Structure 1
Amino acid sequence: DLSDILAFARSVRGRYDDVAVLGIGGSALGLIALHTALNHPFHNLLPPDSRGGAPRLFVFDNIDPFVLDAWLSGCDPARTLFFVISKSGTTAETMAQYLVVREMVERAGLAPAEHIVAITDPENGELRKIARRDGLTAFPIPPGVGGRFSVLTPVGLAPAAAVGMDVEGLLAGAGDYVKAVLEAPLADNPSLWLACSLFLLYLKGYRNHVMMPYSSRLRDAADWYRQLWAESLGKRLDRGGRVVEVGPTPIKALGVTDQHSQVQLYVEGPRDKAFVITGVKDHGRTVEIPAPPPDSPLAYLGGHTLNELMAAEMTGTIVALTDAGRPNCLVELEEVSPAAVAQLFMLWELAVAYMGELLDIDAYDQPGVEAGKRAAYALMGRPGFQAEAERIRKSRRGGGITVPRPLV
């Protein structure tokens, strides 16, 4: 219930300097994309007044011990609110982080219920059990929603609201998109058009799908897309149980930056890539380019804006790809706003659903991910995985490669 999220956000405003999110995959990527798109690009560096009193936001979507320990050693647990996000409540990476954080909170003499929020299954799982036992504030993850589709559920909305994002605007934008799609003729359905185009290109050998936004604020939306496309569509079996091993490889790029690192490959390399350029009409700010001396070779830039240059660079990439016979299309947002970002999410979430139907695979499971989880559980000594641990140990005997220490 959005009202519960908004009430919670109001109740914690001013009590915490930092919000730290412990989650991985779909429990983190959507929130990171929202933060990059909708908050000030230097949100965490601004003084509190310039952030409207909103806390700083840190998302720990990896278990790199150096990074987590470095941050925890400098944070004040009394002024920090931790969100622990795991649908199953047994995600090894997230729950390991939770155990580390909980010990720190308790060692500081603080009550976990005042500093830890759970986002998990509404009824079942270890994290739900912990929340009930310890009186933690807990928000439900809808049972039928997988992590990569959960950005507009409490997974993304609760921490987003806690740091001052407009979550009502997000849901309004998503609702408007779905309503428009349902009411439009099939030929005017952007998600269906996108899915059909990429499916036909996939059949023609264009197996790599590049999302390239021309906005730094959308760079992490491309990271979110990469998980959505890969985890939903990369499947060994079709719905009939036949081995098909299908799935396009998603690639993220950033305009204008990657014109100077990847576009050479895109224009002249293998003809195995299709491109979804993502533009923004109104960047929200305008920066004028001062005029240099008239005889300067830079004189052509004077009197223009960085906005115009960004648009010209994007058009230039589209022209270069088209002239080279590389398939591409343009998805253009009016602005980077809560409504527009939510609609971009919905564009891709519906497109991946259509793409799953076209490929005749289940776009909502992830058995390959589960196989890796089982191996990790076995290696960490989780009960019930002893046979898997023995199998892994036997398969790895003599098969490792040791990298020597640096010589200097």
Structure 2
Amino acid sequence: MAILQVEFYPELNIKEIEDADTEMKQNAKKLPEPFFFKPREHFDLNTIKAACDPILKKGIEHVIVLGTGGSIQTLLALKQYANKQVHPITSSRPTELKRLFKIPGLKDNSIVVPVSRGGKTLDVNANLYLFPRYDMLGLSSRGPMNNILKTMDVKLLEVPDLSGRFAASCTNVALLPAYLAGIDVNTFVDGLEAGYKIFDDSVPIQTNPAKKFALYLYKLFKNGYRNVFSMPYFSWLKGAVGLWVQELSESTGKEGLGLLGTYQEAPLCQHSVLELLLGGSKYHTVPLLWILEKDPHDIPLNNTIKHIQDKSAADTVLYQANATFEALLTQECPAAMITLEIPTLRNMGLLISFIQSTIYHLCLLFNVNWANNPNVLLGKEICNYAMEQDKSMMQMKETRKKVASEQFKDFWLLE
């Protein structure tokens, strides 16, 4: 049985597959090289160890990571393999900060790792001064955060100028905090390398699951579908699904094109969205189910109900996932399922390599730059300007009402 299986319907025909491979090769010549296919070229484990081992000798128990977006998503997929407490702080939301600072002895048993490639991320910079007497190790190469950390006499390691959401898995961005948290970085990267041997651009589409799945999604887009709704049935997969959502949306979503990634945990989502998918409006959403063959945390249910007897907790979840997949197909709803054999750290590396390869190949079909995200800056600029001008929330409301009236003046004429 393969470590990772991809099943989707309706199936593709051979002619479509061959034509798509040719198109991807042509478009690849016009777009940035996929650096992440060679993960070991972009980090030096000895440098990571030299920076981290003195900190680890102090016996820290908590790794606090200040980061958001591409700076944190890969780590969220890996934190379950840590032997220390990992605290991702993705913004200045008060509840999360208050909960963090309630942890007894936090200051004396922690390392704080602020992460930002450009150094201008408000969600990171806003929180820096909350940790003035904490041990800190910064990941930054330029910008305001870099300058602030230097004034605080914080040791800094570089963040390469590479697309963050793709770079984290093979650079200091995720690998350094992962090492601090006790995660075996080499094993994870071994999984990445094993995956790219199966999924990268050198492997023909006929034997490349990532290329085939990218073509499947692209064809659905051409048929009017705009949303890929992920349903992770096991908690092991939640972090990887978050990375999928970001990479799908941020990489394909430009030049008036793209697919929106969304998700809710399963089986919970069966009770919130399945009615619409089965009986509501059609041709907009592709359900994507994520499952494990085996969950190492599985337990017997010891249930006396006849059809549940001898079934484990994971069995019950798997029956629901497979039944939901079939139900979707009975209603002519295109759907897909990704199955990971068992969630070892190496296999998680392989899963992330599949995610990144699929998104890269999908961007080749869209013929858009997989590495950039130019429009994300718009909201950041509006926010920074409003804060610099000390605008009130009421003033911001008045501004957006004016913007909306100008942008949507003929909107309802489209009815």
Q: How does 1:52-131 map to 2 (within 5 A)?
A: 54-72=83-101, 74=103, 76-102=106-132, 105=133, 115-121=135-141, 124-131=142-149
Q: Tell me the secondary structure at the aligned position of residue 356 of structure 2.
A: helix
Instruction: Mark the CA change 1:396 to 1:256 in structure 2 (over 3 Å): closer, same or farther.
Output: closer
Number of the residue aligned with 1:176: 194
Q: Does 1:364 align with 2:371?
A: yes
Q: Distance in 2 between matches of 1:72 and 1:399?
A: 40
- 212, 230, 249: which is aligned to 2:249? 230
Q: Does 1:303 align with 2:300?
A: no
Instruction: Identify the range of structure 1 (259-268 vs 186-195) with the bigger mean alpha-carbon deviation.
Output: 259-268
Q: Distance in 2 between matches of 1:29 and 1:263?
A: 27
Q: How does 1:6-405 map to 2 (within 5 A)?
A: 6-13=49-56, 14-36=58-80, 38-39=81-82, 54-72=83-101, 74=103, 76-102=106-132, 105=133, 115-121=135-141, 124-131=142-149, 135-147=153-165, 149-182=167-200, 184-235=203-254, 237=255, 245-271=256-282, 272-292=284-304, 298-381=305-388, 395-396=399-400
CA-atom RMSD in angstroms: 2.7
What do residues 256-275 of structure 1 show as CA deviations (whole Å, max 9, x unaligned)? Answer: 22222222222222221112
Amino acid at match of 1:329: A
Q: Distance in 1 between matches of 2:319 and 2:72?
A: 33
What do residues 66-114 of structure 1 show as CA deviations (whole Å, max 9, x unaligned)? Answer: 4324433555322221000011112122111112322xx1xxxxxx6xx
What do residues 108-149 of structure 1 show as CA deviations (whole Å, max 9, x unaligned)? Answer: xxxx6xx0111123xx33334455555533232221232454
Q: Distance in 2 between matches of 1:286 and 1:255?
A: 16
Q: Tell me the secondary structure at the aligned position of residue 335 of structure 1.
A: coil
Instruction: Mark the CA change 1:147 to 1:127 in structure 2 (over 3 Å): closer, same or farther.
Output: farther
Measure how far apart 1:328 and its partner are: 1.5
Q: Distance in 2 between matches of 1:149 and 1:216?
A: 24
Q: Tell me the secondary structure at the aligned position of residue 151 of structure 1.
A: helix
Equivalenced residues, count = 355
Q: Tell me the secondary structure at the aligned position of residue 150 of structure 1.
A: helix
Q: Distance in 1 between matches of 2:376 and 2:163?
A: 17
Preserved CA contact (<8 Å) 1:152 1:170? no
What do residues 188-232 of structure 1 show as CA deviations (whole Å, max 9, x unaligned)? Answer: 112111111000001101211122222111123222221111111
Q: Tell me the TM-score normalised to structure 2 length.
A: 0.78
Q: Tell me the secondary structure at the aligned position of residue 337 of structure 2.
A: strand
Q: Tell me the secondary structure at the aligned position of residue 275 of structure 1.
A: strand
Number of the residue aligned with 2:17: none
Measure how far apart 1:393 and its partner are: 8.7
Question: Unaligned regions of 5+ residues in structure 1, if any?
Answer: 40-53, 106-111, 238-244, 293-297, 401-408
Amino acid at match of 1:254: E
Q: Distance in 2 between matches of 1:379 and 1:308?
A: 52
Q: Choose between structure 1 and 2 for higher RCO, CA contacts under 8 A separated by at least 6 residues.
A: 2
Amino acid at match of 2:47: D
What do residues 357-379 of structure 1 show as CA deviations (whole Å, max 9, x unaligned)? Answer: 22222222222210011111111
